[in-house]
Amino acid sequence: MKRVCLFCSSNIGADTVFRETAKELGKVLADNNIDLVYGGANVGLMKVVATEMLRHGRKVTGIITEFLAKKHLTQPDITELITVQTMHQRKAKMTELADGFIVLPGGYGTLEELFEILTGGQLSFHNKPVAIINVNGYYDFLQKQLERMISEKMLLEPHAGIANFVKTPQQAIEILKEFEYPVIEKWIDDIIEDNK
Instruction: State in words which class domain 3-178 has.
Output: alpha beta
**What's the pLDDT tens digit per position in 50-59?**
999 999 999 9
DSSP 8-state assignment for residue 77? T
**What's the pLDDT tens digit per position in 101-140?**
999 999 999 999 999 999 999 888 999 999 999 999 999 9
The pLDDT of residue 195 is above 70: no
Which residues face 166 on adjacent strands?
A: 133
Report the chain's terminal Cα–Cα distance, integer Å: 51
pLDDT classification of 1: cutoffs 50, 70, 90: very high
Mean pLDDT across the stretch 149-177?
Answer: 94
Extents of the domains making up the chain: 3-178
Whole-number Å distance between alpha carbons of 163 and 172: 11
Contact 111, 163 (CB under 8 A): no
Question: What secondary structure, in 3-state letters, does 25-66 show?
Answer: HHHHHHHCCCEEEECCECCHHHHHHHHHHHHCCCCEEEEEEH
Q: Which of 5, 3, 14, 35 is nearest to 105 (CA)?
A: 14
pLDDT classification of 189: cutoffs 50, 70, 90: low
Whole-number Å distance between alpha carbons of 25 and 169: 5
If one compares 187 and 18, the residue with the highest pLDDT of the two is 18
Give the pLDDT score at 190: 60
Q: How far is CA 21 from CA 13, 139, 149, in A?
A: 12, 14, 29
Whether pTM > 0.75 for this model: the answer is: yes
